[in-house]
Structure 1
Amino acid sequence: MNLTTKQKQYLKGLAHNLKPVVLLGANGLTEGVLAEIDNALQHHELIKVKVPTTDREVKLAIVDAIVRETGAVNVQLIGHNAVLYRQSEEMKIAIPKAR
């Protein structure tokens, strides 16, 4: 799923007040963490994941792996938080239509 700039801006606005739902620990990105992210995306559609590493390339690699494994869209990576979106069957969030 590709999002337009307008759709990403809308989702960023919704995510502003959210707290991170999943925090990566010392073990990094494990199958259990991926399952939890998948579960959270299914339940909420829009989540924040905290990736506590100072190395930007490692952080990007982790977020890319999450996106690849869960089928989510990386809306924003700011600081240690990644904002992820994946539409569920019930469509809880109505995003603006792409033109």
Structure 2
Amino acid sequence: MELRGKQKRFLRSEAHHLNPIIQIGKGGLTESVIDQIEETLERRELIKISLLQNTDEVADDVAEALTQAINCDVVQIIGRVLVVFKPSSKEKFQKISIAVRKI
């Protein structure tokens, strides 16, 4: 789902109060971390990911890898924090994606 400007702005405002749920540390972006991100996105649709100081990963590279691996949208990158959105495939978890489609 390609997001338009207004949709990204809405998602940024929704993510403002969220705390980072997933942290990427010195192990880097491994397959298990990607699986965990995918499972979390399935339930929440919008999450923040934090890159800890001891990781060698760069936020832009992580954003590119996540976009390729799980087909999600990186809404915003601020420093070492990424805001990631992916509509849920299960109807009971689709709260944010319904609001995004209306915009």
Q: TM-score, normalised by structure 2?
A: 0.85
Aligned counterpart, 1:35: 35
1:1-99 matched pairs, under 5 angstroms: 1-52=1-52, 58-89=58-89, 90=91, 91-93=94-96, 94-97=99-102
Q: Is the 8 A contact 1:53 1:59 kept in 2?
A: no
Question: Any unmatched runs of 5+ in structure 2?
Answer: none
More helix by share: 2
> Counterpart of 2:3 in structure 1: which amino acid?
L
1:48 deviation in Å? 0.4
> Counterpart of 2:45 in structure 1: which amino acid?
E
Percent identity, aligned pairs only, is 38
Q: Is the 8 A contact 1:6 1:96 kept in 2?
A: no
Question: Any unmatched runs of 5+ in structure 1?
Answer: none
Q: Is the 8 A contact 1:45 1:85 kept in 2?
A: yes
1:71 deviation in Å? 0.9
For residues 53 and 63 of structure 2, what CA distance do their matches in structure 1 show?
A: 12
Paired positions, count: 96
For residues 33 and 16 of structure 1, what CA distance do their matches in structure 2 show?
A: 23
Root mean square deviation of aligned Cα: 1.8
